[in-house]
């Protein structure tokens, strides 16, 4: 069906739920369950959800060479097809956004709708500098330090300041333990993704969810996506970069409501 030959799927994958297909691409330094766990019950109530773990995440071995966006996109599609989904909607979060956009551009006959959250076509200087430091810290192997660096960037100021000291300590420790082994490679890829030329090729209903207090992937980058994908709808969510932490119910509602009108 696809105009491109798909590779043998090699990344660990998960299939849950029933209904129209929804293929999801997770964020850097995380995993399928790390990104989507808080909303999976809602997504799988209406969709057959398929997701992969990038190299160095979940059960997928760490990469021995720099990650390539085309390969990441093709692996995502190959996993979906291997799980019996011939066509499907795509959702991409953070680094998963460029992965999903590239997948939609390379395999347009398979994609029925696209949802993008807290993501970008290409990093701006603010994001690039932040992610470079993140990758360097991850390379030191001090997961606690990585977590302490990221939380002020990833949470909205309101959510960060609302946490009592004991809760903040628990959250930082939990997040540190969950950082993917492949974070260095994920961060390196995030600094060089550029899918701006792919945006004109997107011809399916598209929702861009902008996390309006996002300091890791600034909202100006979300707006750029909505302005450059034909017919894209923009929805705003008043959170930092982690809607699954700050507002999971509102996040899943935006996704499922949109897909209810654009999948069958």
Residue pLDDT, tens place only, 115-140 = 999 999 999 999 999 999 999 999 99
Q: Are 188 and 132 in contact (CB under 8 A)?
A: no
CA Rg value for the chain? 17
Angle at 246 between CA 94 and CA 179, to 5 degrees: 50
- Is the model's pLDDT at 219 over the cut of 80? yes
Which contiguous run of DSSP H or E holds residue 98? helix 96-106
Q: Are 171 and 154 in contact (CB under 8 A)?
A: no
CA distances from 106 to 4, 19, 94, 205 (A): 7, 24, 19, 16
Predicted confidence at residue 1, as pLDDT, reads: 47
Share of the chain above pLDDT 70, in %: 98
User: Taking residues 74-97, what's their average pLDDT?
Assistant: 98
Q: Are 113 and 92 in contact (CB under 8 A)?
A: no
pTM of the complete model = 0.96
Structural domains of the chain sorted by starting position, each given as residue range(s) with its CATH number in brackets: 13-125+182-262 (3.40.50.1820)
User: Taking residues 159-170, what's their average pLDDT?
Assistant: 93
How far is it, in rounded angstroms, from Cα 192 to Cα 171? Answer: 30
């Amino acid at each position: 069906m696809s105009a491109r030959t798909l590779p043998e799927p090699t990344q660990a994958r998960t299939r849950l739920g029933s209904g129209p297909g929804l293929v999801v691409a997770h964020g850097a330094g995380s995993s399928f369950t790390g990104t989507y766990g808080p909303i999976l019950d809602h997504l799988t109530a209406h969709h057959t959800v398929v997701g992969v773990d990038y190299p160095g995440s979940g059960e997928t071995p760490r990469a021995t060479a720099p990650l390539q966006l085309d390969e990441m996109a093709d692996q995502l599609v190959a996993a979906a097809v291997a799980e019996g989904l011939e066509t499907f909607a795509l959702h991409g979060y953070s680094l998963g956004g460029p992965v999903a956009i590239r997948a939609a551009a390379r395999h347009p006959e398979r994609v029925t709708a696209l949802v993008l959250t807290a993501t970008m076509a290409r990093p701006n200087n603010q994001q690039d500098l932040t992610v470079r430091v993140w990758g360097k810290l991850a390379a030191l192997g001090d997961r606690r330090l990585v977590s302490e660096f990221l939380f002020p960037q990833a949470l909205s100021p309101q959510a960060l300041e609302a946490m009592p000291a004991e809760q903040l300590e628990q959250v930082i420790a939990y997040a540190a333990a969950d950082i993917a082994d492949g974070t260095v490679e994920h961060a390196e890829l995030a600094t060089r993704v550029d899918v701006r030329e792919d945006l004109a090729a997107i011809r399916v209903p598209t929702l861009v969810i902008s996390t309006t207090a996002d300091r890791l992937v600034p909202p100006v980058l979300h707006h750029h996506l909505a302005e450059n994908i034909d017919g894209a709808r923009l929805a705003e969510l008043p959170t930092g970069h982690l809607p699954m932490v700050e507002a999971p119910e509102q996040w899943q509602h935006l996704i499922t409501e949109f897909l209810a009108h654009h999948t069958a």
